[in-house]
């Protein structure tokens, strides 16, 4: 099967990081930005880099943008340019369109005009940092929906040497331990008898409020 081809529009901090990461993962990446300087900066890291204004339909058509499997729109500050670009890409029939939103309202508009996925990198990172601040044990925090999330948590000292049955996180906090990481080994369907060791990392799913209670209890 042919490798997916990606186009990333907007070489700000987020866009250039996405383009660079995809390229390092071995994918073909076309980077686009209105600024010639940004294009020169990214040119060495991606397959093609083109300076163009993506609010111009003809330009996007000429670049053959609809032949890309996924297009990421990472224009942040200029909301009008972001919306116009998204609208044109949708009209041109891009198969999958991922767009960075600057705020909730911007995100709503993007969803309405057909973005397949809207991402909020600043908001999500802020949320992660906040959870890490509540409890330094929290290594990562991923929102699954408005109500549910997954946390990756260093096993608190109170957990060490106990098994999942004894800890009974499910009854006490209404949360589920989905996986236990021990070094590089990952136990993805832990049994009630599995013991938590020092240095283990727990992957826990639950309702946001219940997870917060758990985080605070072992902060």
Q: Could you say which of 1, 2, 77, 184 contacts ligand ADP (CB under 6 A)?
A: 77
Could you write out the DSSP letters of every residue in 161-197?
Answer: T-BHHHH-HHHHHS-EEEEEEETTEEESS--TTPBP-
Q: Could you say which of 38, 106, 131, 181 contacts ligand ADP (CB under 6 A)?
A: 38
Q: Could you say which of 13, 117, 162, 165 contacts ligand ADP (CB under 6 A)?
A: 13
Cα–Cα distance for residue pair 152/133, rounded to 1 Å: 14
Q: Which of 128, 119, 123, 25 is nearest to 75 (CA)?
A: 119
Cα–Cα distance for residue pair 140/150, rounded to 1 Å: 8
Cα–Cα distance for residue pair 188/181, rounded to 1 Å: 8
Q: Could you say which of 71, 81, 109, 155 contacts ligand ADP (CB under 6 A)?
A: 81
> Shortest Cβ distance from residue 140 to ligand ADP (Å)?
21
> Shortest Cβ distance from residue 111 to ligand ADP (Å)?
19
Q: Is there binding between residue 33 and ligand ADP (CB under 6 A)?
A: yes
Q: Is there binding between residue 40 and ligand ADP (CB under 6 A)?
A: no
List residues binding ligand ADP (CB under 6 A).
9-15, 32-35, 38, 53-55, 74-78, 81
């Amino acid at each position: 099967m042919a490798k997916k081809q990606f186009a990333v529009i907007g070489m700000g901090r987020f866009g250039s990081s996405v383009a660079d990461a995809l390229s390092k993962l071995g994918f073909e990446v076309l980077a686009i930005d209105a600024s010639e300087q940004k294009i020169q900066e990214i040119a060495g890291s991606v397959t093609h880099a083109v300076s163009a204004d993506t609010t111009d339909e003809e330009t996007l058509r000429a670049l053959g943008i609809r032949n890309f499997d996924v297009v990421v729109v990472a224009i942040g500050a200029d909301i009008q340019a972001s919306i116009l670009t998204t609208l044109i890409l949708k009209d041109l029939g891009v198969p999958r369109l991922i767009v960075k939103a600057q705020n909730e309202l911007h995100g709503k508009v993007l969803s309405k005009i057909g973005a397949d996925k809207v991402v909020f990198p600043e908001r999500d990172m802020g949320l992660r940092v906040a959870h890490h601040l509540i409890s330094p044990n929290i290594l990562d925090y991923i929102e699954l929906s408005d109500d549910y999330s997954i946390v990756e948590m260093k096993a608190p000292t109170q957990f060490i040497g106990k098994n999942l049955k004894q800890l009974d996180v499910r009854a006490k906090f209404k949360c589920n331990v989905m996986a236990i990481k021990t070094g590089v080994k990952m136990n993805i369907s832990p049994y009630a008898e599995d013991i938590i060791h020092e240095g283990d990392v727990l992957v826990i799913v639950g309702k946001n409020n219940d997870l917060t209670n758990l985080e605070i209890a072992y902060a």
